[in-house]
Amino acid sequence: MADPLLTFDEVQHRHAVPAPKAWKPWAKRAGAGIHGISLSLYPGQVLGLVGPNGAGKTTLLRMMAGVLPIQSGTVTAPTEDRHSVAVEDLRNWAGHMPEQVRWQGAITVVDMLEQLSDMRGQRHHHLHGLLNLVGLHERAEEPLDNLSQGMRQRLSIAAALLGSPKVLLLDEPFNGLDPVAAEAFAALVRRLAGKGVSIVISSHMVTQLEGLIDRIALLHRGQLLDEGPLADVEKRLALDGRYQLTGPGELDDTNFLGHLDTDVLVTKSTEASWSLTVRGDAERVLQACNDHGLSVASWAPVKPNLVEWLCAATGMSLDDISLDVASSAMVPMMAMEAMEDE
């Protein structure tokens, strides 16, 4: 594998939350945030940042984009022999697409991009190419107020691509895109990755990232649970090699699979049909089904969803994880610093 473009080592950012005291009503303390995350971004690879609401995906992306300060930890650029990359430099390296931007105003699309180009100190000659790339060339002179949600997402992508960034940070980019636009967007991401751009995509919908990401980083409550190539992480968390088989008729039992080194995860059977979800050697399971006289109508690999990823990585059940994203419950896995006041 190529050397990483950027390496984040034990980076941390905790949001300041109000903690008023009688003698100091403006007092704040360090609240939820990102804790000691180490992560490398590789050229030409797409990293999927996956986690539930409140996991810290947006905070981490903002840190990577140089929007939020890195309170501790270091950022290095090994390929450029840079032992320390300042936050200001990160803004040069990265193109950032926030989750929701309500582009508004009477100014046109191209005027807006020119304004952002000016902020980057760049000329405007490449803007029409950029608008072509994201499919907004026919809307270049359209006022921002007239854009649909999907077009606004495309404009956000164009804004992130200004200055040909080495790292592209996309926060929930599929929100608001119709399936056609989402597919076109995925193709664009693959094309950019093919040009060597390192891409980070955050999402709480793992299925949207299938076939798009090379690596996955599993984030929960501000901490990195696991990270690596998708297949490796699946294997580590025992989420690989899962298949669902279906067929007509009734399934009495699954003892016929007992002699195989196979986990039967889910069994469903009615008088009309049956389905089995197993983890093991697919060919041997199919053979055993045939030997048992079962007619297999379909056979498909089962990809884990976000809940399964989280449950596997944390060892918690769905009930434990629940919907609780209160700030006090954000960092249960890491000891908090004694000094909380800022």
Partner 1 sequence: MSDLRRILKVAARLRNERLVGVRLKVMLPILILFLPGLAWGFSDPNIVLPGGHQPDTAMEVLFYASLGVVFGATMCGVLMAFDGVSKDRASGMLEIRLAQPMPRQHQAAALVLGHAQAILIPVYTLLILTVVVVRFRMGEWPTLTEAMVYGLSTGLIVLWYTLFALLASTTAKEQGTAIAFGVGVWFFFTFLWALVTTMVAYASGVAVGEPNDPTWVALEGMLDMLSPNGVYHHLLETQLPTIDRGIAAWQAWLAALLWTVLPWWALHRRMEALVP
List residues near partner 1 by CB under 8 A: 15, 62, 65-68, 88, 91-92, 94-96, 98-107, 111, 114-116, 118-122, 156, 159, 163
Q: Which is nearer to partner 1, 89 or 214 (CB)?
A: 89
The neighbouring-strand residues paired with 46 are: 199
* DSSP structural state of residue 298: E
Q: Which is nearer to partner 1, 106 or 180 (CB)?
A: 106
* Smallest distance, partner 1 to C-beta of residue 156, A: 8
Q: Which is nearer to partner 1, 165 or 280 (CB)?
A: 165
Q: Where are the beta strands (DSSP E) in the chain?
A: 6-18, 28-41, 46-50, 72-76, 94-97, 167-171, 198-203, 215-220, 223-229, 242-248, 263-269, 273-279, 298-301
* Smallest distance, partner 1 to C-beta of residue 118, A: 5
* Smallest distance, partner 1 to C-beta of residue 238, A: 38
The neighbouring-strand residues paired with 39 are: 8
* Smallest distance, partner 1 to C-beta of residue 119, A: 4
* Smallest distance, partner 1 to C-beta of residue 68, A: 6
Q: Which is nearer to partner 1, 102 or 125 (CB)?
A: 102
Amino acid at position 204, single letter: H
* Smallest distance, partner 1 to C-beta of residue 60, A: 14
Phi, psi of 263 (to 5 degrees): -95, 125
Please spell the DSSP secondary structure of 197-253, one letter per residue.
Answer: -EEEEEES-HHHHTTT-SEEEEEETTEEEEEEEHHHHHHHTT-SSEEEEEEES----
What's the residue count for the chain? 342
* DSSP structural state of residue 254: S
Q: Which is nearer to partner 1, 91 or 284 (CB)?
A: 91
* Smallest distance, partner 1 to C-beta of residue 101, A: 4
* Smallest distance, partner 1 to C-beta of residue 67, A: 5
Q: Which is nearer to partner 1, 95 or 247 (CB)?
A: 95
C-beta neighbour count of 219 within 10 angstroms: 27
The sign one gets for the Cα dihedral 226, 175, 188, 162 is negative
Residues 6+ apart with CB under 8 A from 183: none
Residues 6+ apart with CB under 8 A from 283: none
Q: Which is nearer to partner 1, 116 or 296 (CB)?
A: 116
Tell me how far apart the terminal alpha carbons of the chain are, to the nearest angstrom.
41
Separation CA 42–CA 1 (nearest Å): 8
